[in-house]
Structure 1
């Protein structure tokens, strides 16, 4: 210890012996680094401020230029009126359509025309608009005023813009002031902040409007009085501010906080637009850059306020001065360290030698720790086969402690005959260099301390050392893996026997490499030998009947996308000799950790015989139905004549029997008609006369036709909601047939004294017709089969109520043929609602 104590004092003396030039160089380098850092920092901040100022000016100019462009659009609309004797609704729609405003003028809500109406012209105006096909049109809001301005044209005439149809903008103060300014000046005028009538959803935005007056042609417009007298209306455009700013600026506003005020002052109640919501803006953040500018608009002014955000400032190149500082500091320190290293070279050399020795020892200890705690057994032997190292995993595998085997021949860990041959393996390798087990992984047998022989997975490598060569063996006990493989083989054998017993074909689709395994039975079902079918998906898809391929692939995609729990389809597939077999194809996908399908396994079942029997049954039903219809029609006519008194007055008992026979004849004819309709639907022979027509008259006719039927059960039909004027493309007779089926079912299964509600409502671009009863509801077990042929929920109750089990199946087919969908909702004990939807046909569109 006494010899080591002077070392710190000599280090201190060496520190003071360093030449003053070293310290002077360090001070000068640091001073130059500071000056360079300040200069770069100042220039970077000035450049960032200039960029923000130019960007702010560009945003303001974009807004003003976009407003001028919209003004030119309005002037085009005025020019259309001035160049035409009459501008019809169709003319206006054509004009606006040619502008393609969604592409060329993003942000504009629409282009419209508001007509000026004097009080004595009001009644005639309303009648004219209603005659154009708008029976519910009226001027809003109601009330007497000196002058009206009704929105009569507004394109595109979508759902949002239809909410403003017929609105008198002159009735609202802000719009009135702007329209009066435009009228008196003859120039374009922009309104203050308003809420548009088009705000009919939850996403309510601030808005504004731009007006350009339209005057009668050929009159003087020099004075305010002359312009007021000659005013015909306004060409205008409504704007939703958020949409306007997005369409005007696009991505320029994403990392800036833009605030737009109505007027020239930044007052909270004048705020018309803010690009960053309160949730997005951090109250504690103080922007480095901000600015205001007044935007001169036609007849109005806006104040634009722009602030930088944390995202904007994060993208500013602010790293240069830091890089300069860091580089200067590093250079200064390196130069000083270099000089210092010259003085302390000897001490450093000794320290380096000590560090290397420590590192080698630590590395040896680290490697030994890895070997000792490795999951695999590691055994190291010398050229004579003696064990040099035996880690913990090897102890667990063989049951020997390391102390028991170190120095022993490794063959003690091997059963016969490997134990006797091992020394010969090593000697032959050392003599000839011929490798038997080196460098390769193989399965061998091991011998535990208790005498148990077990399978090992072994890999041996050769390591050269100063004292000679050693051999390291890495091994793993694979007893459990072998048992699992044997269990898997047995399971596969049982599965193969089950598939063979079921006489089904098996397929296994590997989605990763798009290969398919087809079992021998799969190939045999189609008449092929095993070698004649390659493992590709085309071997299957090319044989599927062309008419079936698209729906089958749709079912496969639906299952792979997770929309169905099981893939199942019935389709035809071509046999080797050319004829088609009917196949029931079922499969299920195996998915990975993220739910992505990895493979899909399924079976093919030949159902050709079942399909043949179904066809025979359908042909029999069709033949019998046709053969029974003619005599039953004659019987119904004869019974009607007898009941009508053609053969004279009947006794009461005979009359009751005749009525009973007539009723049962009608039920039998209804069954035959349903069977014939089903036969036509299946064969594609059912004809449809599809026309665009109003739905409400058809619904009302169906309710009226079935009212007497409901009275038999003591039930009342109530038409609760309707959509006058709404049209759909339907076959009127088939539509009424569907309604009659739903209404009769609802009446049959309602309680006496109850009611059945019928409603027609809008649903996006479709209409929804619903029939609701308050009966017993539909059981869970029957819901999946309710639209199948001959399906009945409770056969005893159905016989009591009457019915064939075909009505809903026919109704579903008819609705789908007319482009709609049918469904139901039900609560057991509370009733059911059956509904169907049909696409709406807009007025004036082609059938």
Structure 2
């Protein structure tokens, strides 16, 4: 039996130390020397405490009937000074020559490294959740909140400490609140995904009872045998408000487009109105002459002339009524405007859908520009037109870039919309701002003409720089608003 014990003693992968009185090493196995970086024979007679970093650990290792032993983690060191964590198991054995302690030591450096890596990952995850701009909420399979990020506190108005352990449904308005647990139970039972791994727009409820739209993405994970769900939540209130403002701006821009188009229609409409007015004048003059003749038999002809004049007056009135309906929103006025805000709003609207075509947009807006004197909607119509033209031109191109720039130039504000498109041929470029000239197959050629009229009505100028295969840059200027005291005068 002793030979079997000896074989086990020598074959053990962990270092085994037999420690006598005073902490002196009496026997070791073959793994002990490599563990401590000392030859086996050189360990015999050494103090075991020489290989421990903490003096308290050294005092506890001397064999005595007051220390029954046990398992613990300590820091050990080799002869070369290298320190490493070790797990030791102590057992006391009473021998005829006195108390003896057996120590089994195992290097747990790899375990410590793994544990520290996991702890670092946990700390990193906590830091990410704490600083994420989107709200992050973790719940268990029963809907109980396990983690509530700082962004979630700001979004919903509940402190994290008060939310831990509460049901996630309290962040939802009715009827979603009472139905949430059944949704979760149905998923756990059937695996049918309605939000998990898919994402959708839902409604949340703040601490003050107000509801607001949110975009919810939910991920699922198993940790420690427990099923957890992490929700990533984005508040859509500002986005929807911005969309509403853009829609309102779009409506205003469309109205300005109607006003601009009215200028193009002026000559045709003037001709239409001139016809009934000329006819009225002729009929009235004929009636006057017939009355001047003083002959009773001519009275029916006078009545017919006046009737026809009335018909032509009604025709002219109908034309004017149609014009009034077209410009129902009336005149616009110029006032001081922040140019960069004006440009950003219009360009953002014009760029809707541009991402689908892989178009990259760069804004280079000069800071601290003075306000410009402008009709906001009309100027935004110009920007909208130029940017949309650039988007359309770039769609078939390999390089798709648009630059929108503002700057001060020679006492004026200058706005530039440049693209990396195919450019414009010289023979067309010189006529770009003339009516009915267009590079588009189905274009009417009125957009740039309208842009020129708007810019010139603001006291500015517009031009284009382009060459085939080198892109196109439209530039126009606006006057800066005079000082407030001048306006007040």
TM bucket normalised to smaller? 0.3 to 0.5
> Which structure has the bigger radius of gyration?
1
- The structure, 1 or 2, with the larger RCO (C-alpha pairs under 8 Å, 6+ apart) is 2
Give the TM-score, by structure 2 length.
0.43
